[in-house]
Structure 1
Amino acid sequence: MLPRICNTCRSYITASGNEVKGLIKSPLSVPGISGRYAQALYSAGYKKKNLEILEKDFEEINLLMAEVPQIKIIINDKSFKKDDKTIILRKILEKGKFDKLICNLFELLVENNRLSELESIMKSFSRIMSAHRKEVMCTVTTASPLNEKDKKKLTENLKKNLKSGEKLILQTVINSDIIGGLIVEMSDKRLDMSIATRIKEIANSLRTLI
């Protein structure tokens, strides 16, 4: 029988809503199978107090897959027998000295034919960890780079929308297609104050007058 993480994952996969007992609730609900695996891993990691280690391990696994394409081939190749795939991946993970929970997760994914969900699980786990740190992601799109003064002022205004204890993670994107102004995307909200959108609105208004 596989270790605790496997039972934790199975609980998440077979249960829904508040049916899961004895598990730490994730600070972010992520839909889908990959979300359930990520939330199960979060619960197990929280109990072991090694969430940061798991997050770091996933970052290293991402780098490893980018540097060694053969690992992705092994993960995605369905012609590999489960036992062979488990042995190969176990050796890779043990050599990299990855956390036991990560190793157990890989074994469970092989057992359940879910290795194809790995990258999605890692992304889901990253989102959960961001929520765990009370980080609020905000993307601001402008036609040209903001100067430091404008960026500082914008950041101060955006922080006014945060709840106590939350941290703003600001990402700026340059897109000349918006012509001017800016587009702010924060959590599940979107505020489009671009000149391009304003021109479209004016054009649509003019069409109704003709």
Structure 2
Amino acid sequence: MSSILTRRYASALLQVGKEHDLLDEFLEQYAEMINQIKKEKKFEQLLNSPRIIHSQKKKIINEVFANTMNSYFLNFIYVLIDKGRLTYLEEIFLDFKEMVYKEKDILPIKVVSAIPLKEEQLVRVKEKLTKILKKEILIQNKVDPSIIGGLIVYAGDKILDGSIKSKIAKLKVNLKEIRLQEIGVN
């Protein structure tokens, strides 16, 4: 959940990334760091433990990530450690990702289908949505067999529901209305 604190740190990282043309690199490295930390629960517990002093946490981060992370990004993580904000790492990442997407005019979209979409289908959906929304699109395909067929597209605060499940629900409502009209109750 976004807060003033997490947005402030995300904004600072965004500014450094813009100044040095490293936004994409920061985003990729941040995601990788989150994945690595989440993969090992004990590693996450170690980094968030109040018993481990800041210098030890920095040493651990350096040993694990120094060869794969940009020095500006590592310095950002060291600041989080010094300020006792490492527990907000994931929330700051979510705010940072949102800010980068806004900066680059990217819209993440979730496409729900009854079966996994093939790459060429995803490309066609992306092309159509790019034309309609006039933004760069990042598509995530989620499978939900309960929609029976068709697609549901979640684009920001818009939902385009072309699923067979929703069409059946609308048909049921229409059929009930027809029955009421037939007996003169409408």
TM-score under structure 1 normalisation? 0.66
From 156, 159, 169, the counterpart of 2:130:
159
**AA partner of residue 74 (structure 1):** L
Distance 1:103 1:156 in 2: 37
- Three-state SS of the structure 2 residue aligned to 1:180 is coil
Higher helix share: 2
Q: Provide the residue aligned with 1:99 in structure 2.
A: 70
CA distance in 1, matches of 2:37, 2:122: 36
Q: How many residues align?
A: 178
Quick check: 1:199 aligned with 2:168? yes
Residue 149 to residue 87, structure 1, CA distance change in 2 (3 Å)? closer
Deviations 1:46-104 (A, max 9, x none): 113333332343244235425655431222223323444344434544x4363333233
CA distance in 1, matches of 2:109, 2:32: 25
Q: Compared with structure 1, are the counterparts of its residues 104 and 188 closer, same or farther at alpha carbon in structure 2 (3 Å cutoff)?
A: same
C-alpha root-mean-square deviation of aligned residues, in Å?
A: 3.3
Unaligned runs of 5+ in 2: none
Which of 92, 112, 130 is equivalent to 1:141? 112
In structure 2, distance between residues paired with 1:169 and 1:66: 23
* 1:169 has 2:169 as partner: no
**Does the alignment pair 1:71 with 2:43?**
yes
- The answer for the alignment partner of 1:49 in structure 2 is 21
Write the distance in 2 (CA, Å) between the matches of 1:54 and 1:149.
29
| Alpha-carbon distance in 2 for matches of 1:148, 1:81 | 48
User: Is residue 34 from structure 1 mapped to residue 3 from structure 2 by the alignment?
Assistant: no
The one-letter amino acid of 1:79's match is R
| Alignment correspondent of 1:178 | 147
Unaligned runs of 5+ in 1: 1-29
Partner Cα separation in structure 2 for residue 148 and residue 98 of structure 1: 31
